[in-house]
Amino acid sequence: MGLAAGSIGCWRCISLAVHSRDLYPFGLSVPGRPGKQLDLGDQHCIHCVAWWHNCLLLRLPLHLNQKIKLICLCLNALEKEREIISQVPEYAIVASSWVAVKSYYLLFDMLLVTKYLITCSHEAFNSTHAEIQNYLKKIIHNKCIYFNIEGLNTNHKIGAILKRKAPSGANLKRININQQTRYYQVLKKLAKYRLDEYKRTKGIKHLSGKKKNEFVSSEISINEFFYLYRIKSNYRDLEFLSKDIDKHEFVDFYSNYFSLSLNYYNAFKSFINNLSTIRLGEKLI
């Protein structure tokens, strides 16, 4: 199938085709000019499009160099761990404790670079973890970027997500999974993580009144998975290490988490490189 990269007046249009399997695995490729066709063969795709007023040629700032180095270091650390696990499966028990943290910082730095390249502002590098997540939701909401899989393209009201109920036994299914059901299950779990974090940061035990209204009316996206799971695994959810779990389940967990992270990495790597070629005259990663 093909994807046309169009233009609106003087706006530059860059189209990103995201190859997917089920909901999560994907990678990006970008055509160079408005109107140019992108041949994606027979692969199923998610499409992501962004527009920018100007194609400014920027100088390479120090902060950008530092972020690119950190991105490479995080990726190398994850790849080395995966290689060790392939030879010593027991190491997955240790590596699984921190894969969420390492994966998150890999993608966090990529989001900072993405924001910088879109906004052309050095202030992008000062974004906090919460701010960069809100920025991603904002550009999705404003359709600066979008995907053709609605789940990745939609921000949801937390109140509505918390009220959803999954069919009986849905949590136990490992094969023949209904993708929409599992999608909302993951979103509901993320919403509960957000609730825990909201209570912690606000210093409250129970949600009521104005704070409750504020929380349930806020939005959540499936793309916040890495951020929220990092918080839980980093601070409070490591008790699984003391459980009687077979080492092969740790291997599967690490492998699946690494694959998910790598697919997001590859998606934004292609996006960053094509946009940086326009902005800076060179690929960054």
Q: What is the pTM of this model?
A: 0.77
With CA atoms as reference, report the closest residue to 147 among 45, 1, 25: 45
Chain position carrying tokens 């920025």: 135
Distance of alpha carbon 70 from alpha carbon 67, whole angstroms: 5
Q: Using alpha carbons only, what angle is made at residue 229 by residues 227 and 231, rounded to the nearest 5 degrees?
A: 75
Share of the chain above pLDDT 70, in %: 72
* Residue extents of the structural domains in the chain: 2-155+221-279, 156-220
What's the rounded mean pLDDT across residues 85-106?
93
- Residue 268: pLDDT band by 50, 70, 90 thresholds? confident
Q: Using alpha carbons only, what angle is made at residue 126 by residues 81 and 221, rounded to the nearest 5 degrees?
A: 65
Which range, of 30-34, 47-51, 98-102, 223-227, averages the lowest pLDDT? 30-34
Report which listed range, 16-20, 66-70, 120-124, 268-272, is most confident: 66-70
pLDDT 10s digits, 39-78:
323 333 334 444 444 444 556 678 899 999 999 999 999 9
CB 71 within 8 A of CB 273: no
Distance of alpha carbon 12 from alpha carbon 145, whole angstroms: 13
Distance of alpha carbon 279 from alpha carbon 242, whole angstroms: 49
What's the rounded mean pLDDT across residues 103-114?
96
Q: At what angle do helices 225-235 and 99-119 cross, to 10 degrees?
A: 140
Whether 13 shows a pLDDT value over 50: the answer reads no
CB 122 within 8 A of CB 61: yes
Whether 149 shows a pLDDT value over 60: the answer reads yes
pLDDT recorded at residue 28: 30
Share of the chain above pLDDT 90, in %: 42
